[in-house]
Structure 1
Amino acid sequence: MARHASLPSSAQRTLPRKQGLASFAPSGTTSAVRSALMTGLMLGAVGVTTPLAYAQSAAPAASAARSYNIQAGPLDRVLNSFAAIAGVEFSSDASLLQGRSSRGLSGIFTVEQGFAELLRGQGLNASRQGNGSYILVKPAEQGSRPSGEVTLAAVKVTGTTVSPTDLPASYAGGQVARGAKLGVLGNVDVMDAPFNVTAYTAQAIADQQAATVGEVLRNDPSVRFTTSDGHNAENITIRGFEINSSELAFNGMYGMLPGAHVPTEFVERVEVFKGPAAMLSGIAPSGAVGGVVNLVTKRATEQDLTRLTTSYASNSHLTQAADIGRRFGAEKRLGVRFNGSLGYGETTLEDQKKRDNFSSLGLDYRGERWKMELDAYSAHQNQSDGSPLMVGFSTLGRVIDAPDTSKNALRGTYAHQRTDGAMLRGEVELTRGLSAYAALGTANYNYDGFINGTRVVLTNANGNATGQTYNQAGYTRSSSGETGLRSSFSTGSIAHQMVASFAQQHTTTGLATVNTSASYVTNIYDPKTNPTIAGAHGAVARSADNIYSSLALADTLSLFEDSTLLTLGARSQSVKQKMATPTAYEESAITPMLGLVVKPWGPEVSLYANYIEGLSPGVVVSSVYANEGETLAPYKTRQKEVGVKWEHGSFINTFSLFSILKPSTISVATSASRPTLALDGEQKNQGFEWTIAGQLSRQVRMLGGAAYTVGEQVRAATAANDGKKAPGVPAWTANLGSEWDLPWISGLTLNGRVTYTSAQYLDAANKLELPSWTRWDAGANYALSAFSKPVVLRFAVENLTDEHYWSGRFGEGFATLGAPRTYKLSATVDF
């Protein structure tokens, strides 16, 4: 990650980074995949352990242009972020930068143009040295230096400080960020975080043409999907545990995002926290414990922005998008950022059409010692004449080959979804080292049509299947609030970062009586017969009314000159379900957390460990069981994790070993006529992860990693399944993406990604096994200037080989399908 450097004579220096790459070649892969992944592993070993001569001496061509998106902030931080992304060595005297701020940088620039734009009006220049590095000078000094050479003293690299409330800078290469939000702890530098966390940037989103948050998550080796590509929802697993699309966080709060696909137009960061996080973020609405995905929204930069993008995706889906940002006032305190898009056309599923409308407005005001932020959006998604399938194998008893996923077996189905949301957040500095914050948000999600139940069950190996359609409707109304205090102080030689927070979420849901069609017969390989379409659904009535309240307290202690960071915290969480059956439910639980980071060899290596818990709502036992009416408390998922983060040059490796134990309710036989419902079930997922990000050289960037996970049913609902593998948890997963700036064609970047998932079981009995699969993606981006306007052209082919494959598990015995070959093309122009 990008670092400041401490030099004698108050100098600062940003160093070009040497890189490494790591990947696993899972057993059972094809020889081509094994060769590719092992080649990546060997390149990484060379990059990590051997200095690259050209990385130290060669400088990127001054005429090479690329796209930048650097947020406003202190001038020293912005300049160092720019230098790190550009891959150049940059030195400065701290006294020249003290008290200066920058508007940031957005657009397409060469290195020389970027420095010139950042230093405009500052009375400073970036002088290029003979070795390709740059030094900050005053104009009078520049001419006085013979040949412009500067001799710098030895450099000691030290870590940067990430403010708990300011957006962390981008890391080298621009694909990920220097830090991420860790719930109530605020923004934390990744090398200071006792967890495995990755924050994908707006630049990565744009360069990958990721239209939804789900598409961004395809970069992460620990994330896999439990819905078919193109489905109405994008549900995922992290470390083998499920997370619904409704459980993503919005600027740190649950329940505030669109209920369907979450568009990326208004997203600045997609932050992925791996593992349970009850103490940090509170209980998720449905009790998910695999991790947290948090979205950070865009803000107006110091530079005016008017960006228009036209996108095409096969078969004929077009999207027009606008991104407009302005700041107003003599000191530009008021910022306005508007994002809007309209998409329409046919998807890769034959005859299926989608129309998407999205608009958002982000306002912010920066006072002397306070700031306010307001986000509001409206998202509409309409899908007609088809839906991707999920296919069941329980009746057939074995898994057969996947069909061509462009075939449409659900013609005539449709779905309408709309979400409107808004959030207000404020912060004020009360005294030096003490600040208060508060946030309030609301979201209203409505849907109707054939949202779920888009599945069939196979009856023979020829692909014949039966199914039903389900016409349904409903709503979710959510309101969330949070308030807290942050304090920074010292007790002797120990520095403290303390936070206290109170949060509450109130959610009501409504469901209509579902209208189910008569059974129909189809064939997944040749779906000539249209399904039977269910009639109108019933009236919508309220079905749940839940309140989640919590109080959290945490303290991060910094010891031994910041070489040791100890974080202690706990959250008291209450769950109130007013409409639970047979009676209302109200219980509470306390979830502790301990995190430790030790840097024994300097800031480039962090050893970390954590213990943290997740929380899922309990239940009131129904009349089916002998303990009818008993209230089961919220149950805790427990994680233990240790790891190493190694930052070598402009490249970071994260190695993690984790063990997660999740309880569940099971039916226990008794001597009475009815069984007892008990919280005695357990699933244990444990394994290791290796993730990478950064620049392998000045022209090559890498992103991805590999994970090995063993999921075990420690105590299953059926005793015969005890000790068997947990369904839906592949042992090996790997994602490896790369970008290469062609040195002989300025502005042209080639990119690619390979994704591998090993075999996995669909059922608890381990009788239905999906085969492994590999997907290849490739593309190119070209940044140029047309009519004096910055333009970026992007082209990509996903699933390059048009592989037909079962991508994952959806419920007991059901499999999901990956998308067919998909072409994407876009043009972005800044005015």
Structure 2
Amino acid sequence: MKTKLLGAHKARRLHGVAAAMLAISPAAWAQSAPAAPTAPNSPEATLSEVKVQAAQDKSQLPRLAPGGQVGKAAGLGLLGNVDTIDAPFNITAYSSELMQDQNASTVAAVLENDPSVRFTTNTGHINENYLIRGFDINASEVAMNGLYGIAPDSNIPTEFIERVELLKGPGALLSGMSPAGGVGGVVNIVTKRPTAQPLTRVTTSFTSGSQLQAHADVSRRFGPENRLGIRFNGLLGNGETSVDDQKRRRNLGALALDYQGDRFSLGLDAYHYRAHMNNGSPVMVSFAKMDHLIAAPDGRNNLFRGVNSVVENEGVVLRGSVDLNDRWQLFGSAGRALHHYEGQPTGTRVVLNAVGDGSAVGQTYNLEGFTNTTAWETGVRGSFETGSVKHQVVVAYNFMNQKSGRALPITVSPNYTTNIYDPVDPIMAPARQGTRRENDNDITSLALADTLSFAQDKVLLTLGLRHQRVHQKMKGYDESAVTPAAGLVVKPWGDDVSLYANYIQGLSPGVEVGSTYANAGEVFPPYKTKQMEMGVKWRAGAFTNTLALFQIEKPSTVIDSATNTLQLGGEQRNRGVEWNTSGEALRGLRVLGGIAYLQPRLTGTQGGKNDGNDAFGAARWTANLGGDWDIPGLPGAALSGRVVHTGKQWVNAANTLRAPSWTRVDLGARYATTMAGKRTVFRANVDNAFDRKYWAGAFADNFLTVGAPRTYRVSASVDF
């Protein structure tokens, strides 16, 4: 089949879906739209000012913690929003205030604040993929308001996001299986909602190269008691990037509606996002032929002049809730998203020659593909008591269908010679063929969880399980699995200190053995990844800390060379300790970040060849520590700084090449004032302030990515 770029005809189709969903009775859906938070010194106010009776609504956006950089609570999928201290997991919810102050334009830039998150693609690449606790999470696996498959693919703009929620570790019970089966963590974006007070904010910004951008954020409420709200975010950006002669164009339109009734609420989100990279891309470098490491090139070097890539996304989601009484609530949501890419979004990599002078062989690829997703969930949650024990119970059913395809065969250019220090223009791949569907997959699940509260809420025990089915219709794969979870929180010294532990599983789709093996046709069930974690959380005034110890065991396939059979005999076992901190350490001094130590051990490899080695690209030591300081005597002015450190990391699974550690320093400043009666905020940031050249991380076995050069970003926001 042939899939063209999303255009007006698909936009009209999505708008029709939205209209049809709005016509559905409120009783059919749940999980209402969360309110926007009140930021310090901001004209915005929370939806709590609207007279709403739906007290059981678990999706109302939690308040910000002191310092305003993270939420006091975060979403735990099935369990709804949970206070950080009461959650038996390591969770963080980064705020839109933090995104604005750091001039962070994508979700990847937000996650750079966490020490347990690293990246397998370059900063500024059109595809942003993550490494959480040493395991891969693709951009396609980010959830939006709790639903997988609906968020923009490849990279996600922050301009329509209120929170970026990060759960570290597997989350099969909490969020279900992600589209690609990632198990390192769960990233969920919470979209902006209409504010209680009118808002008209215009932000203009400039980024290194000559990237200019304008962003409008407008919110109003209407009707009796201001029950109906609307919010629009629009973005236009264009210009050169920090890569020489490369240009980037970003367009976003996002609409949020909500209606707050006496015992029900409805919310609708719709967006269109298009990212176009023109005349270049950051490079990823293969060391497969090398027996030693060479110096990293300048991140400004453009090895791919003439390369273009376009990614386009559209999505719409309706959600709502109905209070059956003061204790029980129906909830649900339904959405559809269309994703399309074409050009050279991947294949921007070269293979070094063995001589070590930077000479390399390159190829370019001409690609096109699509993913169309339909997802929905529905369920009920409520509370009751059995004697002195309190129960918070939730039952939910989830469904996701994804149809995807690409242009085959992939067209590839002839090999050409270049140099990572002194690049030449690449040879472009020939024209591609039309796309055809390759996958039509259903992922369905039924989940049940109960949080039991003992001893006046000093002991919280969460038990649950999810039955999940994976049906790959075009491959004849139809398997299911049950993933349990248990979490315990004990608060022996009051509400500001909690000890916690959890056991939870992750789920990845199994495979049908291919025809090249002796056991061809054998079907493996979904793989179960297992995590055990324990830790302590404490609040000291406005200062919050989490110390966690964890072990994650992820299975994989290996080949028995003696019998030529594919078997489930491989494993990677990651053990680690994390310290996360946030809040106001001192009055006027906000801190955010932490330190992590990881042992990413390969415990089951092909023929035992690499047993005991570290996984490639997963450094043992990482740290992200940032500070934000109000300048005494100058109201509205603040300085900020952040240190990002990544320790030595192996380039390959054989552990024959090791990339050196690197440390990057980021700086920032802002000034909030009133001009002509309008609140105005000026912000300036510089990443990699000392312009360090370094190998940032690993894209695949024997591949390294190049760190971004010094990058400036300045912006001005005015509230009209």
TM-score tier after normalising by the smaller chain length: over 0.9
Kept after mapping to 1: 8 A contact 2:50/2:227: no
1:305 aligns with 2:194: no
Q: Which residue of 1 aligns with 2:89?
A: 195
Matched, 1:669 2:669: no
By how many angstroms is 1:724 displaced? 1.1
* Aligned with residue 499 of structure 1, among 379, 382, 394: 394
Structure 1 segment 415-454 matched on structure 2, within 5 A? 415-454=309-348
Is structure 2 residue 55 aligned with structure 1 residue 164? no
Following TM superposition, by how much is the alpha carbon of 1:396 offset from its aligned partner in structure 2, in angstroms? 1.6
Is the contact between residue 643 and residue 657 of structure 1 (CA under 8 Å) also seen in structure 2? yes
Aligned to 1:264: 158
The alpha carbon displacement at 1:119 in A equals: 13
Asked if the contact 1:476–1:509 (Cα under 8 Å) also holds between the matched residues in 2, the reply is: yes
Work out the CA distance in 2 between the residues paired with 1:291 and 1:402. 30
Report the Cα offset of residue 656 of structure 1: 0.0
Greater C-alpha Rg: 1
Task: Tell me, yes or no, if structure 1 residue 517 matches structure 2 residue 413.
Answer: yes
Partner of 1:579: 474
Matches within 5 A, 1:529-544: 529-544=424-439
Alpha-carbon deviation of 1:624?
1.3
- Please report how far the alpha carbon of residue 826 of structure 1 lies from its aligned counterpart in structure 2 after TM superposition: 0.2
AA partner of residue 725 (structure 1): D
2:17 alignment counterpart: none
What residue in structure 2 maps to residue 471 of structure 1? Answer: 366
Q: For each residue in 1:239-279, what CA deviation from the matched residue of structure 2 results, as whole angstroms up to 9, or x when unmatched?
A: 00000001000000100011122000110000000000001
Over 6 Å off, 4+ runs: 117-122
Which amino acid counterpart does residue 266 of structure 1 have in structure 2?
F
CA contact (8 A) 2:572 2:604 kept: yes
Query: Which consecutive residues of structure 1, in runs of 5 or more, have no partner in the other structure?
Result: 1-70, 87-104, 108-113, 123-160
Percent identity of equivalent pairs: 51
Secondary structure at 1:191 match in 2: helix
1:42-441 equivalences under 5 Å are 106=43, 164-441=58-335
Aligned partners of 1:754 and 1:774 also within 8 Å: yes
1:421-820 equivalences under 5 Å are 421-459=315-353, 460-513=355-408, 514-527=410-423, 529-580=424-475, 584-670=476-562, 672=563, 675-820=564-709
Change (3 A) 1:601 1:793: same
Whole-Å separation in 2 of the counterparts to 1:340 and 1:442: 21
Structure-2 change in CA distance of 1:120 and 1:287 (3 Å):
closer
Number of residues of Structure 1 aligned to a counterpart in Structure 2: 682
Question: Which string of whole-angstrom CA distances, capped at 9 and with x for unpartnered residues, describes residues 523-582 of structure 1?
Answer: 00011x2100011111100011110000000000011000000000000000001122xx
| Displacement after TM superposition at 1:184 (Å) | 0.6
C-alpha contact 1:506 1:547 (8 A) present in aligned 2: yes
- Equivalent pair of 1:162/1:188 in contact (CA under 8 Å): no
Answer yes or no: is the 8 Å Cα contact 1:162–1:168 preserved in 2.
no
Counterpart CA distance in 2 for 1:554 and 1:606 is 21
For each residue in 1:209-234, what CA deviation from the matched residue of structure 2 results, as whole angstroms up to 9, or x when unmatched? 00011100000000000001111111
Partner deviation per Cα, 1:754-804 (whole Å, 9 max, x = no partner): 000000112111011111000000010100000000000001111000001
Cα 1:163–1:708, aligned 2, differ >3 Å: closer, same or farther? farther
Instruction: Please tell me whether the aligned partners of residues 260 and 381 of structure 1 are also in contact (alpha carbons under 8 angstroms).
Output: no
Please say if residues 56 and 326 of structure 2, whose CA atoms lie closer than 8 Å, have aligned partners that are also in contact: no
CA shift digits 1:669-697 (9 cap, x unpaired): 33x4xx11111100000010000000011
Equivalent residue of 1:280, what SS? helix
Q: Deviations over 1:125-178 (max 9, x none)?
A: xxxxxxxxxxxxxxxxxxxxxxxxxxxxxxxxxxxx996221110000000001
Match of 2:173, SS state, is helix
Partner of 1:386, secondary structure, is coil
AA aligned to 2:411 is N
Distance of aligned partners of 1:347 and 1:331 in 2 relative to their CA distance in 1, 3 Å threshold: same
CA separation of 1:520 and 1:118: change in aligned 2, threshold 3 A: closer
Q: Aligned to 1:206, what secondary structure does the other structure show?
A: helix
User: Letter of the aligned partner of 2:421 in structure 1?
Assistant: Y
Aligned to 1:20: none
Distance in 1 between the 2:533 and 2:160 partners? Answer: 33
C-alpha distance in structure 1 between counterparts of 2:333 and 2:302, whole Å: 44
Contact 2:513 2:519 survives alignment (8 Å): yes
Provide the aligned C-alpha RMSD in A: 1.8
Give the Cα separation in 1 of the matches to 2:372 and 2:90. Answer: 32
Contact 1:391 1:815 in 2 (8 A): yes
Return the offset for 1:482. 0.2
SS at match of 2:43: strand
Q: Is the 8 A contact 2:89 2:500 kept in 1?
A: yes
Residues 436, 400 of structure 1: alpha-carbon distance in 2 compared, 3 angstrom cutoff: same
Secondary structure, counterpart of 1:233 in structure 2 = coil
Query: Which one-letter code corresponds to 2:480 in the other structure?
Result: S
- What amino acid maps onto 1:615 in structure 2? L
Q: Which runs of 5+ in 2 are unaligned?
A: 1-33
Give the Cα separation in 2 of the matches to 1:640 and 1:162.
31
1:669·1:676 contact (CA, 8 Å) conserved in 2?
yes
Q: Distance in 2 between matches of 1:399 and 1:287?
A: 33
State the alpha-carbon separation in 1 of the partners of residues 43 and 401 from structure 2.
39
Could you say what secondary structure the match of 1:253 adopts?
A: coil
Measure the CA separation in 2 of the matches of 1:616 and 1:794: 42
* Deviation at residue 330 of structure 1 after TM alignment: 2.3
* 3-state secondary structure, aligned to 2:258: strand
The amino acid that maps onto 1:499 is V
- Structure 1 residue 728: Cα displacement: 1.5
Query: Cα distance, 1:106 vs. partner?
Result: 2.8
Q: Distance in 2 between matches of 1:307 and 1:121?
A: 22
State the shift of 1:429 in Å: 0.3
Residues in 1 aligned to 2:421 and 2:426: alpha-carbon distance in whole angstroms: 15
Say whether the 8 Å CA contact 1:162–1:189 is kept in structure 2: no
Shift of 1:397: 2.1
- 1:72–1:548 Cα change, 3 Å: closer
Distance 1:802 1:312 in 2: 19
The residue identity in structure 1 corresponding to 2:194 is: A
1: distance between equivalents of 2:591 and 2:346?
Answer: 37
TM-score, length of structure 1 as denominator length: 0.81
Following the alignment from structure 1 to structure 2, what is the Cα–Cα distance between the partners of residues 72 and 521?
55
CA distance in 2, matches of 1:576, 1:119: 42
Counterpart CA distance in 2 for 1:705 and 1:284 is 27
Q: TM-score with structure 2 length normalisation?
A: 0.93
1:227–1:415 Cα change, 3 Å: same
For residues 290 and 205 of structure 2, the distance between their equivalents in structure 1, rounded to whole angstroms, comes to: 42
